[in-house]
Amino acid sequence: MKKASEVVFCVSDRLVIRKFGLQDVHSFYQYRANPEVSRFQSWDNFTLQDAEAFVSKQIEHSPDQPGTWFQYAIALTESNQIIGDCAIHTLVDEPQIVELGFTLAPEHQGKGYMNEALCALIDYVFGFLKKHKMIAFTDVRNTKSIQVLERLGMRREGHLLENYMSKGFWIDEFQYAMLKSEWLEKRQ
């Protein structure tokens, strides 16, 4: 039987988008615990125990279960070393729509890895999972995340006032979206 980390969902030139494995716990913990990475995210003070629990849960989980998030590990093809993750949340009321999330370890930012990983993931989401629409929410102050979404060609569909409670404050969010038809047109 395959180990969890041998389950590959999609690949790109430099990256493999695969299932999390137990060997990823430490690297995952290191970048999630970094305050620069968690600044605009829901979590704070991420511990090694949190990382162990998270990875163990992901190993047991399968993608595309309505009402849940599935986290994909992003690893370098050459070393299989995890450098970040991306995730999809299949909406419970409309499973043809998925929400996107993503994080990259700081030492691997600025090299186009997230754009490359998400192009492969979106091909898989619209091609293999046959979804109709992808959405994403981002803190309006998160310029790096906004750049990632706009580089992919996602459209800003809304500015949601005080839509999210983060670290004790109500935060404005932008909602971005892309239809399958828009992605296929862009990929031609």
- Is residue 5 close enough to count as binding ligand COA by CB under 6 A? no
Give the Cα separation of 25 and 156 in Å (integer).
34
Tell how strand 133-139 and strand 97-104 pair up. parallel
- Is residue 109 close enough to count as binding ligand COA by CB under 6 A? yes
Stretch that binds ligand COA, among 48-56, 127-135, 136-144, 161-169 (CB under 6 A): 136-144
Give the Cα separation of 20 and 8 in Å (integer).
10
Residue window 14-53: x/- pattern of binding to ligand COA, with contact defined by CB under 6 A: -----------------------x--xx------------
The H or E element that residue 65 is part of is none
Q: Which residue number places its CB atom closest to ligand COA?
A: 112
As measured in angstroms, the least distance from the Cβ of 104 to ligand COA is 4
Per the CB < 8 A criterion, the answer to whether 17 and 124 are in contact is: yes
Give the Cα separation of 130 and 108 in Å (integer).
30
- Is residue 113 close enough to count as binding ligand COA by CB under 6 A? yes
- Is residue 142 close enough to count as binding ligand COA by CB under 6 A? yes
